[in-house]
Amino acid sequence: MTPKNSLNFSGGPGALPESVLRLAQESIIEVPEIGLSVLGISHRSDWFSAVITELETNIRTLLGLPENYHVLLLQGGATQQFSMVPMTLLHRKTSPAEYIHSGYWSGKVLPEARREGPIRVIWSGEANGFRRLPEDDELLFSPDAPYIHYISNETVEGVQFDRVLGRDDVPRVCDMSSDFLSKPCEAERFSLIYAHAQKNIGPAGVTVVLIRDELLNDVPADLPGFLDYRSHSHAHSNFNTPPVFAIYVVLLVTRWLINEIGGVEKMAQINRNKAELLYRLLDSSNGFYRGRAESQDRSMMNVAFNLATPELENKFLTRAADAGFSGLSGHRAIGGIRASIYNAVTLSAVEELAGFMDNFQRLHTK
């Protein structure tokens, strides 16, 4: 059978709501309010200025973001932020910035940060295969650190922090790429949050950065313009040609979150129900499905698990594809199975997956 888009459990780029896809489709031919294709509208047009303004307002509304934050729409993905953050905040610092190494993606951050200045890894889950996250008493934060950096949801291993880390007197920086706008996040407790769009809030090409105003007071003077947050702030995210289409689709997703879902609290409730359904199934499978993450640290966005053997996992993936499911193979770094249940994956799609898994288990246990 060919894949069904409603059964797309891809880790990223992830699924988008069907109503958003229909509006995006229409906009490629003609954006209703202006009669032009979104792919051929000037980024200097009044229409696009209004798109940026509305998107910024929607993000502020959804997160209750105070006025002293800039909302920036950048390019270069989360990976660009791995460098831009230390280029901005580690400049001429002698005490190290503190990093938490909780999975594949926070491992990718470290070499980029080390290039820019001193860092200290205050906790690593590498020895236990990133199956769990640190408890508070394992984390000794220094008051002298220029900032602390962590990833709220490790997309590959499926572990997610359910609390804010760090000290209130040290700037917190967080990569929220795979759980941004999936739940309330206490944004005002962070100095800088970044999240690319392509996991949970849109197509690839745009990265949202929320940055507290005072962080821009002491930016190195010699940064390339494109790598200086101030350039983007002064230009209202229109410093050079931005990804107009990607930004427009993220706007449509925020309208969907506000008008159809009813905000991030409501979204979180739906996401919790989806995740609980799958984790209950793993837990009651008598070891047929083996969840990767320890239960207290499980992600509400990425449900990673194994079966008894790689052969059985391959069979699972083949049968799942036959049934119309897609995106279920684990990240190439660790294999196994991963069901990513981002905002746009509906509860009924998750129920279908659970039904399939139940059935697969019954056919493969004696």
Ligand X SMILES: *Cc1c(COP(=O)(O)O)cnc(C)c1O
State the residues that interact with ligand X by CB under 6 A: 12, 77-79, 105, 151, 155, 175, 177-178, 196, 199
Q: List Cα–Cα distances, 58 to 25, 53, 71, 253, in angstroms.
A: 22, 9, 11, 10
Distance in Å, CB of 123 to ligand X, minimum: 17
Distance CA 173, CA 357 (A): 38
Closest CB to ligand X among 108 and 364?
108
Catalytic residue from among 179, 183, 199, 228? 199
Residue number with the shortest CB distance to ligand X? 77
Q: In what order do the strands lie in the sheet with 290-291?
A: 290-291, 302-306, 337-340
Q: How far is the CB of 213 from ligand X (least distance, A)?
A: 25
The catalytic position among 46, 47, 93, 105 is 105
Backbone angles phi, psi at 237, to 5 degrees: 60, 25
- Encode burial over 310-336: b for 16+ CB neighbours within 10 A, e otherwise: eeebeebbeebbebbbbbbbbbeebeb
Dihedral sign for Cα 10, 11, 17, 22, please.
negative
User: Which one, 27 or 207, has the nearer CB to ligand X?
Assistant: 207
How would you label 152-171 residue by residue, b for 16+ Cβ within 10 Å and e otherwise?
Answer: bbbbbbbbbbeeebbeeebb
Q: Is 123 a catalytic residue?
A: no
Terminal-residue alpha carbon distance, the chain: 28
> How far, in Å, CA of 91 to CA of 39, rounded?
39
Is 4 part of the annotated catalytic residue set? Answer: no
Nearest distance from residue 245's CB to ligand X, in Å? 17
Q: Does residue 128 contact residue 111 with C-beta atoms inside 8 Å?
A: no
Residue closer to ligand X by CB (options 155, 191) is 155
Measured from the CB atom, the residue of 104 and 356 that comes closer to ligand X is 104
- The residue annotated as part of the active site, out of 175, 179, 228, 297, is 175
What single letter denotes the amino acid at residue 207? T
Tell me how far, at minimum, the Cβ of 357 lies from ligand X, in Å: 24
Which CB, 194 or 288, lies closer to ligand X? 194
Nearest-approach distance from CB 19 to ligand X, in angstroms: 25
Residues known to be catalytic: 105, 175, 199
